[in-house]
Amino acid sequence: MTQTPEGETRVELWVNAPDDAEYEPLVAHLERLEAAGEVDAYVVYHWGHELDVSSDRLQCVEDQLARERVAAFKQWATENGCTVLGLGERATVGVGRMGPEVTVEQLPPVLLAEYVDDDLRRVTPCSAGDEHVSERLATLDSTELPVDGRETKTRAEVVESAEPATAEAEAGPQPSRRRLTRWRR
């Protein structure tokens, strides 16, 4: 594992994609970053398009985690003088035949949260598509390494160009580090 001067790096990818194919390129990029040592671990979470905030009653454990993370993302934004696009907009749903009225908070389709140890360091949301997260992941693997004394490659390119057995040996044993949690309403 690679340690920054501050500690271990961890990345959370939050997506509300309807199927796996929409976010698999992001997960593949995270896998390359982990293999290259740019991040120590990552996890992928699924959340809906909105989060019920009308009461303290939770429908599942994942709702509690999502509420905690949304609060942390907002706190981070406040402390850093910015906003997290896609978070905070509230709406009332379930009026009429749709059931009892509830207040929900809109969630971005894709959000990347970066931690050093347990300290939230950066939040990258995407209000549409995944372009901002893709750009941020590209920035994370843009560290150039010398190759043959002349040419330079990024860490991810070095791992990609290695033979599969070599890349696997460099990355070490591959326990399941990515936990896919699906929650839909």
Count of positions (residues) in the chain: 185
Percent of the chain's residues with pLDDT above 90: 32
pLDDT at 44 over 80: yes
Cα 61 to Cα 33: distance, rounded to the nearest angstrom: 29
Nearest CA-CA partner of 36 in 126, 113, 143: 143
pLDDT at 149 over 60: no
120, 102 contact by CB (below 8 A): no
Strand partners, 93: 102
Q: Which residue has the higher pLDDT, 176 or 148?
A: 148
56 exposure class (CB count in 10 Å sphere: 0-12, 13-18, 19+): exposed
pLDDT at 65 over 70: yes
CA angle 22, 183, 100 (to 5 degrees): 120
Q: Quote the pTM value.
A: 0.71
Please compute the mean of the pLDDT values over residues 61-78 and round it to a whole number.
Answer: 90
Cα 15 to Cα 103: distance, rounded to the nearest angstrom: 21
pLDDT of residue 102: 86
pLDDT of residue 141: 79
Nearest CA-CA partner of 124 in 17, 29, 12: 12
